[in-house]
């Protein structure tokens, strides 16, 4: 059996549907369930349902052979894993956002983010001295209440920024959901892992063909 760590959050339903198309059906899975471990009907996959930011860690440490998680969390954790497939779901963008008049060419900026490593790396690359404040959510609040000058966050529809009167000051990187694998597992469970990846690839190609023919 291979263990797959799946990120909780917005992309869960899409991922479960993709797994189903690939032939892995998790009968008792429900997004609102408090259960953390599920098995597919063929008993090939043990699915563990964890916080998105922890998925790369589970995979790097070998607690899971495979993981499905956003590129944002892979970059933030800098986990030593293989990135195998772009699942083309959960598409969003990393941005720097703030109030309309906010300028980025400032000697020193206070930056709030759920992604402190990415924020730190970006501002240091830009040569801007930045104090990073790590928050765990509702980051958009920070510039509104004067706790930070800007935020580094992901934007999907842009609604959260808009409803809080913030704008994108700079676009950083495109994000989507990726399939990652533990390096040692890939060496020792090659057949099972490559078979799983192939099934997912076929399901993705079917999706594309259906989309094109519609």
Q: Rule CB under 6 A: which residues touch ligand PRP?
A: 137-140, 153-160
Rounded to the nearest whole angstrom, what is the least distance from the CB of residue 143 to ligand PRP in the complex? 12
Tokens read off for 195: 């078979």
- Beta carbon nearer to ligand PRP, 157 or 191: 157
- Beta carbon nearer to ligand PRP, 9 or 23: 9
Report which residue's Cβ sits closest to ligand PRP: 137
- Beta carbon nearer to ligand PRP, 114 or 178: 114
DSSP string, 92-153: EEEEEEE-TT--S--SEEEEEES-HHHHHHHHHHHT-EEEEEE-SS-TTHHHHTTS-SEEEE
- Beta carbon nearer to ligand PRP, 3 or 177: 177
Q: How many CB atoms lie within 10 A of CB 121?
A: 15
Cα 41–Cα 44–Cα 45 angle in degrees, nearest 5: 85
Rounded to the nearest whole angstrom, what is the least distance from the CB of residue 58 to ligand PRP in the complex? 19
Rounded to the nearest whole angstrom, what is the least distance from the CB of residue 159 to ligand PRP in the complex? 4
Rounded to the nearest whole angstrom, what is the least distance from the CB of residue 77 to ligand PRP in the complex? 16
Asked if 60 and 80 count as a contact pair (C-beta separation under 8 A), the reply is yes
């Amino acid at each position: 059996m291979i263990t797959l760590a799946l990120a909780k959050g917005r992309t869960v339903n899409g991922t479960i549907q993709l797994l189903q198309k690939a032939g892995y059906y998790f009968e008792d899975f429900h997004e609102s369930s408090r259960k953390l471990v599920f098995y597919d009907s063929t008993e090939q996959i043990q699915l563990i349902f964890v916080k998105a930011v922890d998925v790369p860690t589970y995979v790097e440490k070998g607690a899971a052979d495979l993981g499905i998680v956003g590129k944002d969390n892979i970059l933030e954790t800098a986990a030593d894993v293989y990135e195998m497939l772009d699942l083309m779901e959960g598409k969003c963008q990393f941005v720097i956002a703030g109030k309309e008049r906010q300028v980025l060419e400032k000697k020193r900026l206070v930056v709030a983010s759920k992604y402190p490593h990415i924020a730190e790396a970006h501002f240091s690359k830009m040569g801007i001295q930045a104090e990073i404040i790590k928050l765990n959510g509702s980051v958009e609040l920070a510039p509104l209440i004067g706790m930070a000058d800007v935020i580094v966050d992901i934007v999907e529809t842009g609604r959260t920024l808009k409803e809080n009167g913030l704008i994108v000051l700079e676009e950083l990187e495109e994000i989507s959901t990726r399939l990652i694998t533990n390096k040692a597992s890939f060496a020792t469970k090659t057949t099972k892992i490559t078979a799983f990846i192939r099934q997912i690839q076929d399901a993705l190609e079917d999706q594309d063909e259906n989309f094109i023919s519609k």
